[in-house]
Amino acid sequence: MTAMERIAMTDQPLLRVDGLTKRYGPRIGCLDVSFDLYPGEVLGIVGESGSGKSTLLSCLAGHLQPDLGRVAYDGRDVLAMSETERRRLGRTDWAYVHQNPRDGLRMGVSAGGNVGERLMAIGARHYGEIRDKAQDWLARVEIAADRIDDRPSAFSGGMQQRLQIARNLVTAPRLVFMDEPTGGLDVSVQARLLDLLRGLVRDLGLSVIIVTHDLAVVRLLAHRLMVMKSGRVVEQGLTDQVLDDPQHAYSQLLVSSVLQV
């Protein structure tokens, strides 16, 4: 593809998923999932445990090899890429925020080192610049500057999750995968994190795919929503539309199951 064609494609979706299927033996992980994600768009995926949303996310991020289907990122076929290319993409243009910050952080390395790792992985070799950038990002996720040399094990759960987000966003990715980023946090910390995420997504123009079972999270963050059940997408549309006027029986059940305080 030439540079001209690439520029002409700016109105094209950033990520194009077509007929993605993953089976675990006879069991279905996810079945025939198709959607487009445009630059700056936040897509929420909701569904109960075991509905295939995490499988779908892993397939998209290249952690799992799907059985069928196509994933195109920025016009490039992700599944046909060499592993070197895919891992490079995973360090630069993409980011993956794990549910448990311990999966996404190096617990034995200081906060500054955690943020700097992605920079060093793509060739940064100037200590002062790496440190300045780490300091800047810690400030953006509201971690005090004097904690830069502390290890994540000395951080609270909410701080660890914010640190993980900083570590992922430092290389200015265009597409962020989030797997239950607010899971396991108490409600006030959750609210603060969501506020932060919403600001970052807006300021940086990120495209995000966020998997969660918490409808409040998608209500706040997501523009569009996909509801999954037993590996299939049963309903998709604008978030408010799906949540206010669910069409599929399962979506209705899901929305009505939310506890009202």
Residues forming contacts to another protein in the complex (CB under 8 A) are 83-84, 87, 106, 109-110, 112-113, 116-118, 120-123, 125-128, 130-131, 148-149
Distance CA 214, CA 39 (A): 24
**Considering Cα of 163, then 62, then 76, then 89, what sign does the dihedral take?**
positive
Nearer to another protein, 35 or 137 (CB): 137
Nearer to another protein, 11 or 83 (CB): 83
Q: In the structure encoding, which two tokens stand for residue 12, read together?
A: 């094209």
- Beta strand segments in the chain, E: 15-24, 27-37, 42-46, 68-73, 76-77, 94-97, 175-179, 207-212, 224-229, 232-238
For the residues of 187-227, what is the DSSP string, one character each?
Answer: HHHHHHHHHHHHHHHHHHT-EEEEEES-HHHHHHH-SEEEE
Shortest separation between residue 180's beta carbon and another protein, angstroms: 24
Shortest separation between residue 71's beta carbon and another protein, angstroms: 21
**Is 160:138 a contact under the CB 8 Å cutoff?**
no
Nearer to another protein, 88 or 192 (CB): 88
Q: In the structure encoding, which two tokens stand for residue 193, read together?
A: 């994190």
Nearer to another protein, 135 or 230 (CB): 135
Nearest to 51 by CA among 23, 65, 30: 30
Nearer to another protein, 120 or 249 (CB): 120
Shortest separation between residue 84's beta carbon and another protein, angstroms: 5
Q: Which amino acid is at 195?
A: D
HSE-up of 138 (CA within 13 Å, CB side)? Answer: 25
Nearer to another protein, 27 or 125 (CB): 125
